[in-house]
Structure 1
Amino acid sequence: MKSVLLALALVATSLGYAQDLKKSHNIDDSKIALQGYSPVSYLDLGIAQRGLKEYKATHNGIAYYFTSEAQKKTFEASPEKYLPQYGGYCAFGVSVGAKFRVDPTKFVVKDGKYFLFLYDVEVDAQQLWLAENHQKVVKKADANWRKLSK
């Protein structure tokens, strides 16, 4: 009986942890960031490249995929540098106070950071972001993110 209670407590703890991760990171139950796209490709190459599971690194309980062992090592040397803004949620959505899933091929690299965006047939959030003053929209998004990520 004790072992069953302990197992249930561990499951509840891990579910709580997973829910906490989802508040601050745009991930599903797989805990794979960026839908498998490489954070190093966004920032260092300025392109969206799907990573491979054989080049996987875990940071703070979240898995990141890379296109090569060299990219993986680059990330591991400085993971905070390569994390997406706003936990990988749509940057424009965060600027207006909401969290939206993204199209990982829609992004902007600016000032050593990368921002991801929602895209569907009705809303191209990347274009909405680009139409705004970058510093002003980042300031709004940063303020909203402090509330949204808690």
Structure 2
Amino acid sequence: MDITRRALFLGGFVALAGGALAAGAVLRPRQLAPARVYSERGLAIRGTDPVAYFTEGRPRAGDPSITHLWTGATWAFVTAENRDRFAAEPTAYAPQYGGFCAWAVAAKGQLFSTQPENWAIVDGKLYLNFNDDVQATWDADRAGFISLGDMRWPEIVAET
């Protein structure tokens, strides 16, 4: 009888833990690890502070004296506070697809450069695009392009 109760208790605990993990997965959006990062001369996203998109709602050029090295690229920040936020949780602030053009990753399965002014935050994630025209195309079906980009990104990274 004790074994049966113990088995029921453990089974219930495992079910609750599994449910909690599943709920956690729903509450925390999946962040795709940027195995590759778009950079020019080693500087990620053209020296734009990735945290500023979230805190100020706009791109801001980072200070070249306030940087952090992550994924083989140097990231620049407006303030030391932004740098520290990024350093503590880089995947929360770094652009998806390593800062490469979100539309090109989704639509072409290729890596294109981006402009800091062509951006959007969707479901707490930063996406960058090549230019105004590409941004407008991507904006017309963000969910579709994100879904396709999320599927293609691991394949693109594996090939490069």
TM-score (norm 2): 0.72
Contact 1:38–1:65, Cα closer than 8 Å, also in 2: yes
Contact 2:43–2:73, Cα closer than 8 Å, also in 1: yes
Name the aligned partner's letter for residue 109 of structure 1. I
1:79-94 counterparts in 2 under 5 A? 79-94=90-105
Q: Percent of pairs identical after alignment?
A: 28
Q: Secondary structure at the match of 1:57?
A: strand
The higher radius of gyration belongs to 2
State the Cα RMSD in Å: 1.7
Structure 2 residue 148 is matched with structure 1 residue 140: yes
Displacement of 1:60 in angstroms is 2.7
Equivalent in the alignment of 1:102: 114
Gaps of 5+ in 1: 1-22
Gaps of 5+ in 2: 1-34
TM-score (norm 1): 0.77
Displacement of 1:99 in angstroms is 1.4
Runs of 4+ in 1 over 6 A off after TM superposition: none
Number of equivalent positions: 124
Displacement of 1:143 in angstroms is 1.1
In 2, distance between residues paired with 1:44 and 1:38? 10
